[in-house]
Structure 1
Amino acid sequence: MITVEDVRRLTRTFPRSSEHLIRDRVKFRVGAIVYVAFSRDETLMGFGFPKEERAALVAAEPAKFELPRESDLRFHWVVARMEALDEPEMRELVTEAWRMVVPKKVYAAYLETVR
Structure 2
Amino acid sequence: MADTPLLLAGVRRRCLALPEVTEGRTHAAPTWFVRGRRSFVKFVDPDEHPQFDLPHVAIWAAAPPGARQELVAAAPDRFFAPRFGGRDWVGMRLDTGPDWDEVGEVVTDAYRQVAPKSLLARLGGPANS
2:74 to 60, 65, 76: 60
Query: Pick from 33, 46, 49: which aligns with 2:38?
Result: 33
Q: Say how many residue pairs are matched.
A: 110
Deviation for aligned residue 1:104: 2.2
| RMSD of equivalent CA atoms | 2.2
Query: C-alpha offsets along residues 11-70 of structure 1, whole Å, 9 cap, x if unaligned?
Result: 22211211012332110111322100011337011001123221121011000001121x
- Pair 1:7 & 2:4 matched: no
Q: TM-score, normalised by structure 2?
A: 0.73
Q: Which runs of 4+ in 1 moved over 4 A?
A: none
Report the identity percentage.
31
For structure 1, the residue ranges without an aligned partner over 5 or more in a row are none
Normalising to structure 1: TM-score of the pair? 0.81
Higher relative contact order structure (alpha carbons within 8 Å, sequence separation ≥ 6): 1
Q: Greater share of helix residues, 1 or 2? A: 1
Unpaired runs of 5+ residues, structure 2, are: 49-56
